[in-house]
Amino acid sequence: MDRSLTSAPLAALEDPFHAMVARSRAEPAPGLAERLDRLARLRVVVADNEERFRQAISADFGHRSAVETTIAETLLVFSEIRHATKHLKTWMAPQRVATALQFLPARNRLIPQPLGVVGIIAPWNYPLQLTLAPAIGAIAAGNRVIIKPSELVPHFSALLKEAVAQKFDATELLVTGIEDEIAKAFATPPFDHLVFTGSARVGRLVAEAAGRNLTPLTLELGGKSPAIIDVSADLEEAAERVAYGKLLNAGQTCIAPDYVLAPENFVQAFAEKVRAQMRRMFGTDPANKDYTAIISDRHYARLEGLVADAASRGAKILQPAKPDDPNWKAHRKFPPTLVVGATEGMAVMQEEIFGPVLPVLGYRDPTDAIAFVNRRDRPLALYWFGKDRTARDEVLSRTVSGGVTVNDCLFHFTQINQPMGGVGASGTGAYHGEWGFRTFSKLKPVFYRSKFNRLADLYPPYGGKIARLEKMIRFMS
């Protein structure tokens, strides 16, 4: 494969990329000790700079809740590293695979090997966790990694680049700049695997660029993830959990509930309960340090447009007691907002919201709710609330989504023994724990022939022996 970087914007990366490729080919299978050392150094990068990362991310957002950065980013990264370190020896071991009777006493093994050089195009919404989680899987699998952070978090990106360079050789782990030219061209080199986390629109462009080199992809996208409230649900409990899932990181979460489907006669009551829970959690003061700001003025204006469009089309807008307080905008904090009576024609139901705006729609019976979900692209997440197991299982069996949490939101993502990934328009591929190790490995099948095999009977010249062998194989099949 031609690995030259012909794109001018990536000229500065040409030497580091080729050096990394050369090392990955010269040392294709780093041992357990070397991989554990890289994971340990990555943990030091995060541990030694934990407070600096927290401050940098907050500076990029305008304000980012320190608690949210800790629980949704730092601790998850530590958990990923600890899990990989504990299980890596087992993951690396060749796996026994059954051998068909006619080939005994031979044996089969499945041997995991590093792919080589993995590229990661990271998002801005959880810049530490969503950058390093796939890197952990790639490093555990023995790969070398190049990371392109998001241009929307320049303080964090500069710090990550500096911190990584202090602990890693540039042929092991490299963080690039965030210039627009690099962002537009990063998917063009012939990586051995490429990870992109972001919007479906940009994901299509990444897939198109990567496709020119047949680069394997993991796409973590998003979409409109529904929360279905069953008639058997505890409305107070569901309201609290939906409010938390929606307002974590001010809704700037790819698996946040994007809209709610509730029984028609529950819609208004449920929306009021969610608003009450939002007030209880974050109050009505825009300066609340627990409430995260919107990443940019452009994103803020987009949310304003979504709400204005819904209101102009007849939706009822529920917000905190002082939604007109100019300090909301001054702090770039968008007030928690419910859109009651949203319809499919509203802009808020046409695109992923990615902010603290929650449409609440009614349905007549559970089959209508399932049909509503299935008319749309496959969501990255789905949430179901209720006590009726039959109704729950009906939704689980008749809908397809990247992941599901029952009677809560978000927490399927934190299950390190489960894969995290989308389906259809919400993404392809998965990582987390062993799933990440496998994504970034080539599971190479190896057949070890025994000297006692009669496989030579398959060789010409053919004669009566082939008929006997055919009869035996048919009998065993």
Catalytic residue IDs: 220, 254
Residue 456: C-alpha distances to residues 198, 225, 358 (Å)? 54, 57, 68
Nearest-angstrom CA–CA distance, 112 and 410: 31
Q: Residue 359: which region, alpha, beta or left (left: phi > 0; alpha: psi -120 to 50)?
A: beta
> Rounded distance, CA 57 to CA 252, Å?
14
Is residue 152 within 8 A of residue 60, CB to CB? The reply is yes
Q: How many CA atoms lie within 13 A of 3 on its CB side?
A: 17
DSSP of 362-421? EESSHHHHHHHHHTSPPPSEEEEE-S-HHHHHHHHHH---SEEEESSSSGGGG-TTS-B-
Euclidean distance between CA atoms 256 and 271, whole angstroms: 17
CA atoms of 113 and 105, how far apart (whole Å): 26
Q: Tokens 């009869």 identify what position?
A: 471
Rounded to 5 degrees, φ, ψ at 234 are -80, 105
| b/e 19-48 (16+ beta carbons within 10 angstroms → b) | ebbebbeeeeebeeeebbebbebbbebbee
Determine the Cα–Cα distance for residues 218 and 212; give it in Å rounded to an integer: 16
DSSP H stretches of helix in 27-121: 32-48, 50-61, 66-69, 75-92
3-state class (DSSP) for residue 188: coil
Contact indicator for 112, 28 with CB cutoff of 8 Å: no
Residue with tokens 């008929």: 467
| 311 contacts 317 by C-beta, under 8 angstroms | yes
Q: Quickly count: other Cβ atoms within 10 Å of residue 314's Cβ.
A: 10
Alpha carbons 186 and 288: distance in angstroms, whole number? 38
Residues with Cβ within 8 Å of residue 101, at least 6 apart in sequence: 476
Contact 139, 38 (CB under 8 A): yes
